[in-house]
Amino acid sequence: MFLLQQFAPAVIVAIIAVMLAVGITRWLSADWAKEIAFAVAVGAGYAAGHVKSTSWPAFPPVDATHWLLFLALGSILIGTFHAIARRHAAFLRSALFGVLLLATLGLLLRPKFKLEWSSIEGSMWIAGLTLVGCMVGWSIDWAIRSQPSRFSLLFLLVLGSGSSVALAFSGSLLLAQLAAVYSGVTFAVIAAGAIAGNVPGRSLVPCLATLFVGLITCGYWYADLPWNSGLLLAVAPASVFVVPSKSTPVRQALIRAAVAAIFAVLAVLLARRASPPIDYY
Amino acid sequence: MASLCAKLPTLFLLQSGVAHSNHMKQVLSLFALSLLPLSSLQAAETYEIDAVHSSVVFKIRHLNVADFYGRFNEVTGTVSFDKENPEKSSVIADVKVESVDTHNDKRNQHLKSPDFFNAKQFPTISFKSTKVEKAGDAFKVTGDFTLHGVTKSITLDFTKVGEGKGMQGEQRVGGGAEFTIKRSDYGMTFMQNGLGDEVRIILSFEGVKK
């Protein structure tokens, strides 16, 4: 009950923020304008949930995990560019997304450079994680545009929820709560899309991919998320590529969600196994 | 250094090359003045904090029901104590956040996570004095207290408990202080509904003379 009270406000705030933002798309006719509304919805929705969870942090934040809030807001700009240039400037879109990922990982892991890593070791980590982030972004993008459906992001809702439980077992209720906010935002995009009749666009990719990678990164380096659990969660989005493409869009989305659930459950079990006995909450 | 000090009067006399008594007095006075800072430096004694006989305990309100106590097991640092001129004393102390101990592994893990101390980003809690004043039998120690990456100036009322010889004949001195902080002042704002904002910190240390 205490955990529910702890998690519910942040998730509710995120859902309301996204529902409001997506509701605006009813009054928008241009596709690019609708996509911008989606980008604003996910970025602002996550930011609202983050602030509700922790209060507004100082800028620049002392605690590295609070960069997630500012990066979510920054991703609105990149998402907006994706919406405006959605059929053109593929290279520039990818480059901007890469910059967002590099900034995210650089800022989140800056303390590791100060305390632990040599510049070579740190650069290798950042480069590797940026590649993982690109793969996550590409997977979400593929899921959205290969066979567009209102339920395209269902697999991400499953992975966000799995991450939340795994992070809770890893000792950080805050990161678990932020992952729950992420899931709330994803759920709201699916629900609002279904209500308003909009299919999510690729303007969501920068925010959703960056936050997903950011949460796993924080879980592994600042909480006690086991490496195998984190790795499973990080590679799970790539499972969208192995789903047969001949089925209907809704069926495809459900299969992708089911495959993602296998990864999520395994990640949760590994995090549970690595956790000390839970006997104090 | 000591041999140089011993030779100094001779050097002064040789250089001046005078036998007049008034001149001699001037030279001796100058020499005495030059030794003053040296004598005050020698008066300050340096003690290394003995982690085994020192305690860093904290108290926080849980669910508004009761106060809960925890501790940190690893503390290091030095205390430079000048009996003659207490204002020249100084304290430097570091506490390892990883050593937090609340008698429950899961709770220790939670406290070390980004929810509270974020031990991997901020591995130490530190205190470095900037001013020491004698206040009756106690001392007011002002210094920079760094917790969770945030540094604030605080003043502790430090009370010396006693001094004496240890089991191996080493000189020991000890004392303690208590003070209260608001964890929100240090950016620790999570779970304000479950845990109080005010944290009482109780320090007790024993130092071994170096």
Number of domains in chain B: 2
Q: For residue A281, which residues of chain B lie inside 8 Å, CB to CB?
A: 106
Q: Print the domain residue range for B24.
A: 2-35
**For the residues B112-134, what does the mean pLDDT come to?**
94
> Chain B 122-151, CB below 8 Å of chain A: which residues?
123, 148-150
B56 and B82: one domain?
A: yes
pLDDT 10s digits, A216-259: 999 999 999 999 999 999 999 998 887 766 778 888 888 999 99
B130 and B105: one domain?
A: yes
CB pairs under 8 A between A and B: 78
CB-nearest to B109 from A57, A174, A224 is A224
Quickly count helices (H) and strands (E) in chain A.
Answer: 11, 0
What does pTM read for this prediction?
Answer: 0.85
pLDDT 10s digits, A26-39: 777 788 888 888 88
Contact B118 A222 (CB under 8 A): yes
SS3 assignment, position B129: strand
Q: For residue B109, which residues of chain A lie inside 8 Å, CB to CB?
A: 171, 224, 275-276
Is the pLDDT at B75 greater than 50, yes or no?
Answer: yes
B24 and B63: one domain?
A: no
pLDDT band at A57 (very low <50, low <70, confident <90, very high): confident
How near does any CA of chain B get to the CA of A65, in Å? 7
B24 and B87: one domain?
A: no
B28 and B97: one domain?
A: no
Question: A4 CB near a chain B CB, below 8 Å?
Answer: no
Other beta carbons less than 10 A from residue A88's beta carbon: 9
Question: B96 CB near a chain A CB, below 8 Å?
Answer: no
B132 and B182: one domain?
A: yes
pLDDT of A218? 96
Q: For residue B150, which residues of chain A lie inside 8 Å, CB to CB?
A: 62
B161 and B201: one domain?
A: yes
Backbone angles phi, psi at B167, to 5 degrees: -65, -30
B83 and B31: one domain?
A: no
Tokens read off for A276 = 């000390």
B21 and B92: one domain?
A: no
Q: For residue A62, which residues of chain B lie inside 8 Å, CB to CB?
A: 148-150, 187
Q: What is the CATH number of the domain that holds B68?
A: 2.40.128.110
Q: For residue A170, which residues of chain B lie inside 8 Å, CB to CB?
A: 113
Q: Which residue has the tokens 């899921």?
A: A143
Contact A173 B149 (CB under 8 A): no
How near does any CA of chain A get to the CA of B192, in Å? 9
B100 and B169: one domain?
A: yes
The amino acid sitting at A205 is: V
Question: B187 CB near a chain A CB, below 8 Å?
Answer: yes
Question: A57 CB near a chain B CB, below 8 Å?
Answer: yes
Q: For residue A115, which residues of chain B lie inside 8 Å, CB to CB?
A: 121, 123
**For the residues B114-140, what does the mean pLDDT come to?**
93
B67 and B47: one domain?
A: yes
pLDDT 10s digits, B109-119: 999 999 999 99
Q: Which residue has the tokens 């005495």?
A: B32
3-state secondary structure B152-194: EEEEEEEEEEEEEECCCCCEEEEEEEEEEEEHHHHCCCCCCCC
B11 and B49: one domain?
A: no
